[in-house]
Copies of this chain bind each other. A is one copy, B any other.
Amino acid sequence: MRAGLTTNTVVQAAAAIADRDGLGGVTMSSLAAALGVKPPSLYAHVGGAGDLRARLASLAEAELAEALAPAVAGRAGGEALRAAARVYRSWALTHPGRNAALQLVPTADEPSSARVTELLLAVMRGYALPDSEAIHAARAFRAAIYGFVLLEAGGGFRLPQRAEDSYERLLDLLDRGLHHHPQAQPQKLISSRATATGSS
């Protein structure tokens, strides 16, 4: 009985399990069962459990980039920052397993990772910072929304305040802080392209 699997099919199925049962629920056994196949058959498509996790990380990063791109396109400054941040949170909460997979180390130099970095730098361009400061700012932005979503998804917020409200305050805070950056340049409309080739 040919099940017609491919590497992509397998990794997609793993992502679905991760979103449903958590990253820990992804085992070669559970994955094989979900695909109607015995565990050893998976080794024809992925290198093993470790390779599977690395591919899951790559898939997650790629899907995140896909989700972020349209949010950033055509927006600038605080509008771009808020749109990107909201899209990220929404994606992460609807795909908790994929979001958790972002913490895994992808196999090699990940092109999607560079893409995400470029998108975040594009957001920072709206704040007219020097290039070097933009990189620090992009890291800060990524860290803040990443940490927030991890805490929220992990049940770290136990006071009654709604996480959604806190998130909007966080975005306001970041926006204010970036606007008041001491090195903000009044006009930098046509900034040179960022030369990022990896994660920020």
Please give the residue numbers on chain A whose beta carbons come within 8 Å of chain B beta carbons, in ascending order: 103, 105, 113, 117, 132-133, 135-137, 139-140, 142-148, 150-151, 154-159, 161, 163, 165-166, 169-170, 172-178, 180-181, 196, 198-200
Contact = CB atoms under 8 A, between A and B. Distances in A.
Given A105-B155, A140-B166, A156-B199, 4 more contacts: A136-B166, A143-B147, A143-B150, A146-B150
A166 B151 contact: no
A84 to B, nearest CB: 15
17 contacts: A103-B154, A117-B159, A135-B161, A136-B166, A136-B169, A139-B148, A139-B170, A140-B169, A140-B170, A140-B173, A143-B145, A143-B147, A144-B147, A146-B147, A147-B147, A173-B174, A173-B178
Contacts of A113: 158
B169 A137 contact: yes
A199 B157 contact: yes
Contact of A147 (B133, B148, B155, B200): B148
Given A147-B146, A169-B133, A157 B174 contact: no
A181 B177 CA distance: 10
A22 to B, nearest CB: 11
Quick one: copies of this chain in the complex? 2
Contacts of A174: 173, 177
A80 to B, nearest CB: 17
Contacts of A155: 105, 199
Contacts of A144: 140, 143-144, 147-148, 170
A127 to B, nearest CB: 11
Nearest to A172: B177
Closest 10 CB pairs of A and B: A147-B147, A177-B177, A158-B198, A143-B148, A173-B177, A143-B147, A136-B169, A140-B170, A146-B147, A144-B144
Contacts of A180: 176-177, 180
